[in-house]
Structure 1
Amino acid sequence: MAGRAQLQDGADTAATHAGRLSDRDFSRICTFIHERTGIRLTHSKRLRIETGLRRRASVLRLSGAEEYCRMVFDEGGLAEEVAHLIHLATTNKTDFFRERAHFDFLETRILPEILATRPAGRIHRLKMWSAAASNGAEAYTAAMVLAAAAARGPRFDFAVLGTDISAEMVADATRAVYPASWIEPVPPALRERYFMRSQAGASEPLVRIVPELRRHVRFARMNLVGASYPVDRDVDVILVRNVLIYFDPPTQKAVVQRLAGHLRPGGHLILGHTEAAVGSALGLRQCATGIFRIG
């Protein structure tokens, strides 16, 4: 009996080990993600990656991370799993009115400046691009700020594009449904005007962006480390916040240069507060923390 117990314990240990992420497989995932997205995964992300792989393996009825990686990298399964791996590796963290000072600057400085340069007597169209849109909260925040300003006058039209490398995030952003607790940072007047609440009795209170705001915003899948971007070249403001920190310096420079090429002369590029040094190092002209005027 004792010998059988020892054999069983050994088998359990082997099975547990078989389900975990080996150093070799973590290295293969890191290399793939960096080549495909420009993102450098650190060892601090390893546990999150392993947990996500085990969850995905369970969906596919595989034994764990080891069998999943063998299927992906050694047995030709990569093409079908690319979207899942990219989604797992990206942070997908954003909030409504995150880094509020940027939206205040948009409302009080950038927007009046843009409108002052446009000929009077016409309704002009402003273009904004949320280039790492995640679940859409940033793009909808920008849309709320613009819609409220247009309602106050002078009148103008606007369009907001949100792009993200994760197909799952693009789908979530397009759906525009969020837990009600997420909109606490939204000013009360905007909360009442631009969100619909789920009916009483729902298991979890949810909200959805109202249709009249959603029609100004669209989302698409796009990779920032791609050689070119299928985006207009007369964008007024581009938000690319809290994503450059995951790129190495050459990739940061290439991405910023490509983004700048899609701005109107005098357009604004907005980076995250922690990324202000990136813009300064590239010689961009800073207007406020993380906010740069191009041209």
Structure 2
Amino acid sequence: MNSRVDYSDKLGAVMAGSATSASLERDLTMTDTDFDRVRKLIYQRAGIVLAEHKREMVYSRLARRLRHHKLTLFSEYLARLERQPDSKEWEAFTNALTTNLTAFFREAHHFPLLANHVAASTAPVRIWCAAASTGEEPYSIAMTLHEALGTRAREARIVSTDIDTEALAKAREAVYPLEQVLKLSEARRKQFFLRGGGARAGLARIRPELTALVELRQLNLLAPNWGLDGGFDAIFCRNIMIYFDKQTQAKILERFVPLLKPNGLLFAGHSENFSYISQAFRLRGQTVYELASQPSSRPSASR
């Protein structure tokens, strides 16, 4: 028997195997039209712009929803959504396509500036965290207020919102893997966390005096009424505007204006630049903005 195998035969076998593997993984059918419908629906529902290269992400995340409903065609799943505009499945659809990348004290330069900003406040401090995700950001804000205000922090309120109900449920639990908490200083770990034991080994819970400051609620930034009273010392809207087009960004920024105190601050994400989107805000420091209608406080940005 001839043991020589032509390389092209090997390549053909590999490609055939890959095709078989792909067909096994792709047990559901998503056409170009289906992908375009997903992009349209999530934009209408949440303002999220899905780029062409997000196709694989859309397939993998929504595939769970199709399997849950024992469907094999994306077209059938999307048709169900469109037929039932008030269905709870819309919540699952939105949750599936929402990205929750967060960490304690992410973009750490913001928190000393926040501490300096609120330290001189004589009124109870109010902060809006507009993309709370799984809670690391609002609890980082709460730690900062405790450190900056001392006992006065008990009067503070951090309204924390997100469109993703599953992420908010994790934020309410306020329990995090220990390896995530160990990235914080020892002083903060001792002051703000309770270490789990037994079945909770490897986990840490935010202390009650911290969770008491944080109000968690679902909010869609595209909703016509946010149900917020305003009077915020600061708004954290970080790493969410990148998912919106410029027209949506501009509308949201304009709606922030009446919710901020005259000297209020707007904190943006590291890759977000609002200077060319809205004239209502001007840059104060690194990805930190203030109302353009107020006298400039730019010199204090380096504090």
TM-score range, shorter chain: 0.7 to 0.9
How far the C-alpha of 1:48 sits from its partner, in A, is 1.6
The within-5 A match list for 1:29-68 is 29-63=38-72, 65=74, 67-68=76-77
Cα 1:58–1:260 shift into 2, 3 Å: same
Q: Counterparts of 2:262 and 2:112 in 1: how far apart (Å)?
A: 22
Residues 145 and 54 (structure 1 numbering): CA distance in 2 closer, same or farther, change over 3 Å?
A: same
The range that moved more, 57-66 or 131-140, is: 57-66
Secondary structure of the corresponding residue to residue 185 of structure 1: coil
1:209 shift after superposition: 0.8
In structure 1, what is the equivalent of residue 167 of structure 2? 169
CA change 1:17–1:230 in 2 (3 A) is same
1:259-278 → structure 2 map (5 Å cutoff): 259-275=256-272, 277-278=273-274
* Map 1:136-215 → 2, pairs under 5 A: 136-151=135-150, 157-200=155-198, 202=200, 205-215=202-212
Q: Secondary structure of 1:232's partner?
A: coil
Alignment of 1:110 with 2:128, yes or no, is no
- AA paired with 2:125? L
Residue type matched to 1:55 in 2? Answer: R
The CA distance in 2 between the partners of 1:274 and 1:36, in whole Å, is 24
Distance in 1 (CA, whole Å) between partners of 2:25 and 2:153 is 63
Given that residues 154 and 213 in structure 2 are in contact (C-alpha distance below 8 angstroms), is that contact kept between their aligned partners in structure 1?
no
How many residue pairs align between the two structures? 273
Shift of 1:280: 4.9
Could you tell me how far apart the structure 2 residues matched to 1:38 and 1:251 are? 7
Among 92, 104, 108, which residue is 1:100 paired with?
Answer: 108
Residue 80 of structure 1: how far off its partner (Å): 2.9
Which residue of structure 2 lines up, in the alignment, with residue 228 of structure 1?
Answer: 225
Counterpart residue type for residue 58 of structure 2:
I
* Equivalent-residue separation in structure 2 for 1:128 and 1:102 (angstroms): 13
Per the alignment, residue 133 of structure 1 pairs with 132
- Matched to 2:192, the amino acid is Y
Find the partner of 1:249 among 243, 246, 250.
Answer: 246
How far off its partner does 1:156 sit?
A: 6.7
User: Residues 147 and 22 from structure 1, CA distance in 2 versus in 1: closer, same or farther, beyond 3 angstroms?
Assistant: same
SS in 1 for 2:184: coil
Task: Tell me, in whole angstroms, the C-alpha distance in 2 between the residues paired with 1:14 and 1:95.
Answer: 37
Q: Which amino acid aligns with 1:57?
A: L
Q: Give 2:298's aligned residue.
A: none
Counterpart for residue 285 of structure 2: 288
In the TM superposition, residue 76 of structure 1 has moved relative to its aligned partner by: 4.3
- Partners of 2:29 and 2:202 lie apart in 1 by 36
C-alpha distance in 1, partners of 2:146/2:24?
Answer: 56
Cα distance in 1 between the residues matched to 2:21 and 2:140:
50
In structure 1, C-alpha distance between the alignment counterparts of 2:191 and 2:209, rounded to whole Å: 10
Q: Distance in 2 between matches of 1:140 and 1:14?
A: 44
Say if 1:41 and 1:89, in contact at 8 Å, map to a contact too: no
- Percent identity of the aligned residues? 31
Aligned to 1:90: 98
CA contact (8 A) 1:241 1:270 kept: yes
Aligned to 1:6: none
Could you say if the C-alpha distance between residues 132 and 14 of structure 1 is closer, same or farther in structure 2, counting changes exceeding 3 Å? Answer: closer
In the alignment, the residues of structure 2 paired with residue 14 and residue 101 of structure 1 have an alpha-carbon distance, to the nearest angstrom, of 47
Q: CA separation of 1:71/1:154 partners in 2, compared to 1, >3 Å: closer, same or farther?
A: closer
Question: Where does structure 2 lack aligned partners over 5 or more consecutive residues?
Answer: 1-19, 295-303
TM-score normalised by length of structure 1: 0.84
SS in 1 for 2:109: helix
| Cα offset, 1:43, TM superposition | 2.1
8 Å Cα contact 1:127/1:160 also seen in 2: yes
- Contact 1:268–1:291 (CA<8 Å) still a contact in 2? yes
Task: Provide closer, same or farther for how the CA distance between residues 208 and 198 of structure 1 changes in structure 2, counting only shifts above 3 A.
Answer: same
- For structure 1, which segment, 219-228 or 77-86, has the greater mean C-alpha deviation from structure 2 after superposition? 77-86
TM-score (norm 2): 0.82
Q: Would the aligned equivalents of 1:18 and 1:64 in 2 still touch at CA under 8 Å?
A: no
